[in-house]
Homo-oligomer: A and B are copies of this chain.
Amino acid sequence: MSPTRLQRRREPSQARGRQRVRALLEATAELLEEVGYDALTTKGIAERANTSIGSFYQFFPNRDAAVAHLVDSYRAQIRKYLHTAVRQQFKDTRKGITADWVGSVVDGLSALYASFPGFAGLWSGGVQDGPLRSHAEQLRAELLASLEVLLGEAFPGVDPERRHRCLLMVVETAKAVLFRCGTASPDQAEMMREELKHMLALYMAAYFESDADDRSAVFTGT
């Protein structure tokens, strides 16, 4: 497999082409959400985008290239989100890792994930193993790195290594639970999101709060 197998085949030079590419990527994202990565087919993508299979291959060399493009675009959006929205929110509440703060971060991530159709589908087996593996890893790494920077600014006293460990867990756990919410009933989903906030607040507090007295404020029960 040549190293360019996941590159786009060509940058569309006409407006019509750019429009097509957008439609194809949208279709890819939707189908990724609806049927998952392994059931994703190029024919399906083309049909959903109201186009012919030939047009798909005009712009993408294969199925994975479209998915890779999607992953990269999500990565870029996540970075931007974390560099703006979260940082802003963060400045307002530099008082510590309160339940509120964790809650708003989780809500933010939740909304972010929800706004990416197909995001959940990117964590299935096929993506983690095959040629997309590195793309998925980069997405993970990007998210983690951004959070590390943010919390590093807020809590300069915490050992970077410990910070890394903590946030690695936070990211992984949040992802797992939030995606599980996607397949549960709305009630259950709401409940799980709340529990996730509690859990992460407790866990992060242990790392980022020096003052044990605050901990009672962190967890209030329900």
Contact = CB atoms under 8 A, between A and B. Distances in A.
A176 interface: yes
How often does this chain occur in the complex, in copies? 4
A38 B125 CA distance: 8
Interface string A169-197: 10011011100100100000001100110
Contacts of A175: 176
Q: In the complex, which of the residues A172, A196, A216 has the most CB atoms of chain B within 10 Å of its own CB atom?
A: A172
Given A124-B124, A206-B219, A219-B206, A169 B199 contact: yes
A173 B203 CA distance: 13
Interface stretch (A22-30, A73-81, A84-92, A160-168): A160-168
B126 A183 contact: no
Given A36-B126, A199-B199, A216-B212, A177 B183 contact: no
Chain A: interface secondary structure? helix
Nearest to A37: B125
Interface string A44-70: 000000000000000000000000000
A1 interface: no
Q: In the complex, which of the residues A121, A166, A202 has the most CB atoms of chain B within 10 Å of its own CB atom?
A: A202
A216 B126 CA distance: 42
A80 to B, nearest CB: 26
Contact of A191 (B37, B165, B177): B165
A211 interface: no
A39 B216 CA distance: 49
A221 interface: yes
Nearest to A36: B125
A222 interface: yes
A198 interface: yes
Contact of A173 (B38, B199, B221): B199
A169 to B, nearest CB: 5
9 contacts: A36-B125, A36-B126, A37-B125, A121-B125, A162-B222, A173-B199, A203-B203, A212-B216, A215-B215
